[in-house]
Each structure stands twice: as structure tokens, then as C-alpha cells.
Amino acid sequence: MNFADGKILNEKECAAVYEALPERLLAARRKTPPDAETVIRACERAAAGLSEAEFVSVLSGLGQDEAAARRNFADARLLLSAPRLRARLRLELGERYAEPRVYTPEGEGRAVREAVAPLGVLLHIAAGNMDALPAFSVLEGLLTGNVNILKLPAADGGLSVRLLSELTRAEPSLADYIYAFEFSSRDAARLRELADLSDAVTVWGGEEAVAALRASARPNIKLIEWGHKISFAYATKAGLSEGALSGLAAHIAETGQVLCSSCQGIFLDTEDTADIYALAERFLPCLKAAYQEKAAMDISVRAKTALDVYCAELDAPDKGRRVYKSGGVSVTAAPDSLPEAAIRFGNLWVKRLPREQILSVLPPYKNYLQTVGLLCGAEERGELSGLLIRAGAVRVCRPERMSAAYPGLPHDGEYALRRYVKIVHTEL
């Protein structure tokens, strides 16, 4: 769909837009891209039109805690504010990003002009989780002057379409730079068609999505990969206070473990298997208490989660695992030391990982690691933070803050806006 005049198009109109997309993209390329200030003003007006009730209802229906959904709404409005967007542009692209630099290189007789320029057309293949609204990926493309094609995920709930509609209603000239389509990720032919029209593809997804794109995209198309990532907690015996464990449990309940920054499990600084059994038993009541305060999940989500836990419990003895369950949540004590995704919505693992083995065990997973919630003594924090960062983590924080956002927070250790531009050099 195209968002002309802020109107959401019907299926027939969307088909017509898709058919005419090559001509529309060519026409957009011939225009001077919208400047960042135009986009920023539109964002402020669009933010004012967002409905908190609608936002919270959609995220709650997708499994997120209502209180966390309300905080996410407040964060979304803050991130759309003019001061925050301007600060982000200065942080990621430099204080004078909008001003071309004219100079004469040493040893050269002619002056040159260097400037930040958009890549051109970006295809955004959004993920089916709630780590970031797909609309915000499009917004990053708009801020850097790109034309944007969005392939919507199934688990968006309509929020991205709503936001993009508000954005183009606030600034109709942006409609020529935003196109969104909803179709299956298995439709390789259509993905290839859209990729062939693009200068770069941003893909938010797991290994399968990235591998499929690499296999089908032309070699001259730039691939910009984000997620999926694995986040976990790392604990020492000195850090296992009731407050730290309760904070971690609250984080798990609030996020539902659906974000890339959500805790999937706990690595314990020990070689003794008895220690992980003890921690699993100790953490289970904390997790149960946190979920008792959480609003009830959709019955279909609860049913699927219960079935997944039951199947995992059947396999546990063969894998040397012990599953501790109570009140709809579970903690699995596992003998290995490998990071893995957990069953979502209140189920996680506990494993051994002595600090001396961090740099030998985790680096093979370095491109998957994201956030570590650190439960340790104050005197241990510096050493452990350094080890975890060198092993591949890109963020180390207190357990309750694993999914806390702030303006300017990098994506997976990188500034996104820098990846959506190029530096062009013109001899004068």
C-alpha cells in the first residue's frame, strides 16, 4: 500500500500500487529527497494523533504486559519528538551532518565537496516480534532521505500502518517515500522482485530469513542485518540477592521474552551442577510471583506455551535436564553451557558457565548475543562486564533494565542511521 493523503488503501488499490511500483520509485528518485526537518515536524504531528488505548490493546494482545505496553507507548511518543530526533541525527551522523564539507585534499589542486547522501531505495523486511515497530525502521529510512518499501510481519497488529498513515496525513509529501505490503515471507518471488528494485535491504529476522535473502538477492544489493538476538542473565553467588532475582523476574514477566533484549536464561558462575539445581528451585517462586501480578495472557498463547513446556519436559531426561514448574511458569536446569532461545512467556533455563570459560564458550555465538543482565557483587562488575563484551555481548546492564530503552540506543551495537547513508565525494 501507499499512504497517499494519509489514506490506507484497499486490496485492489494495493495491487495497482504494486504493479506501478517501478515507475513510482523512479519518479521518487528524480525528486530532491525530503530533508530531515520535514520528517521531524511530521513525526511530532503524527505522535500527537496516536491513541494510547489502541497501542496498548494491540501490544497486550500480542502477549506484552499492559504496564510495559504503556511504557512503550510513552517511549514511542518520546522517540518521535523533535528534540530526540534532532539529537539522534547529531549523535549518529555528526553535529553538522546536513552541511556539505568543502576542502582541498593535501597534495591535490582541486577542491572537493563531501556530503551525506541517502542510499536510495530501502526494502525493510520486518520481524515478527515486538522489538521495534516496523514503522520505526521506515522512519530511520525517511530521516536519511531514502525511499522505503516495508514488508509487514504477521505480528504487527496494524500499529505500523496506523503510524505511517498518521505520518503522511501530517506531511502528504512523504507518501511518495513510503510503500508497505503484507504477504508471506515464504513468497520468495515477490521478495526477490522488491529486492531487485532496492539499493539496500534491511532484514529483521532469524537465520532462515537472512539466508533466504542472501540466496535470492543480487550481489550488488547491500544487506543490512538486524536480529534475531539472544539475551541472558549472568550471575555470581555474590549477586544472587532477592532484589536482583525479583528484578530479573519482573523484566521477564513484563517483556514476555519476546524482545531481542529479553532474558532467555541464566548462566551461573559455577562448575557445580548442584548449584544450578539450587538456583532453578530458588528462582521459580520469584518468577511465579512476577507472573501472578501480570494480566492474563490470551488463552491461545497460554495453551501453546503449556504444550511447548510439556513437550520439553518429556525430552528433559534424555538431555540430562530437570524442569521445575509451578503456576504456569518453569525453570529448566540444563547441564550444557550453550546460549539458546527459551520457551516464551515465563519459561527459562539455568546453566553453568564459570567466568574462566566465558571467552571460550560464548565467542562462537558473538553475532547472536545482545544484552546481558549482570547479577554480581560491585567489585566483580568491571571484570565480568569486560569479559562479556569481549565475548560478543553489546550491552551489559542490571537485570531489571535489560529491555529499558533510551534515546540514541544503538541497534545491536551499531548506529542505524549510519548504515542508511553513504558519503559522496564531488570534485569542484
pLDDT in tens, the chain (428 residues): 555 544 455 566 677 878 889 999 999 999 999 999 999 999 999 888 888 888 788 777 666 667 777 877 888 888 889 999 999 999 999 988 888 888 888 777 788 889 999 999 999 988 755 445 688 889 999 999 999 999 887 656 677 888 888 899 999 999 999 998 887 777 778 888 899 999 999 988 666 667 777 777 788 889 898 867 899 999 999 999 999 999 999 999 988 888 889 999 999 999 999 999 999 999 999 999 999 877 666 677 778 888 999 899 888 888 999 999 998 999 999 999 999 999 999 999 999 999 999 999 999 998 889 999 999 999 999 999 999 999 999 999 999 999 887 666 788 888 999 999 999 988 88
One CATH from 3.40.630.10, 2.170.190.11, 3.40.50.300, 3.40.309.10 for 230-401: 3.40.309.10
**In CATH, what class is 4-227+412-427?**
alpha beta
Confidence (pLDDT) at 57 = 80
Q: In three state form, how does the secondary structure of the chain look?
A: CECHHHCCCCHHHHHHHHHCHHHHHHHHHHCCCCCHHHHHHHHHHHHHCCCHHHHHHHHHHCCCCHHHHHHHHHHHHHHCCHHHHHHHHHHHHCCCCCCCEEECCCCCCCCEEEEEEECCEEEEECCCCCCCCHHHHHHHHHHCCCEEEEECCCCCCCHHHHHHHHHHHHCHHHHHHEEEECCCCCCHHHHHHHHHCCCEEEEECCHHHHHHHHHHCCCCCEEEEECCCEEEEEECHHHCCHHHHHHHHHHHHHHCCCCCCCEEEEEECCCCHHHHHHHHHHHHHHHHHHHHCCCCCCHHHHHHHHHHHHHHHHHCHHHCCEEEEECCEEEEECCCCCCCCCCCCCEEEEEECCHHHHHHHCHHHCCCEEEEEEECCHHHHHHHHHHHHHHCCCEEECHHHCCCCCCCCCECCECHHHHCEEEEEEEC
pLDDT digits (tens, 9 = 90+) for 128-160: 554 456 888 899 999 999 999 998 876 566 778
Contacts of residue 343, Cβ cutoff 8 Å, sequence gap at least 6: 305, 308, 309, 312, 330
Cβ–Cβ < 8 Å for 298, 257 = no
What is the spatial distance between Cα 337 and Cα 183, in angstroms, rounded to a whole number? 38
Please report, for the chain, the start and end positions of each structural domain, with discontinuous segments joined by +.
4-227+412-427, 230-401
pLDDT (0 to 100) of residue 62? 65
If 0-12 CB within 10 Å is exposed, 13-18 middle and 19+ buried, where does residue 89 land? buried
Task: Name the grid cell of 207.
Answer: 537465520
pTM of the predicted model as reported, rounded to 2 decimal places: 0.82
Strand pairing class (369-375; 347-352): unpaired
What pLDDT, on a 0 to 100 scale, did the predictor assign at position 385? 98
Per-residue confidence (pLDDT) for residue 201, from 0 to 100: 93
Write down the pLDDT at residue 131: 47
Same fold for the domain at 4-227+412-427 and the one at 230-401? no
Work out the widest C-alpha separation in the chain, in whole angstroms: 76
pLDDT number for residue 6:
44
User: What's phi and psi for 238, nearest 5 deg?
Assistant: -70, -20
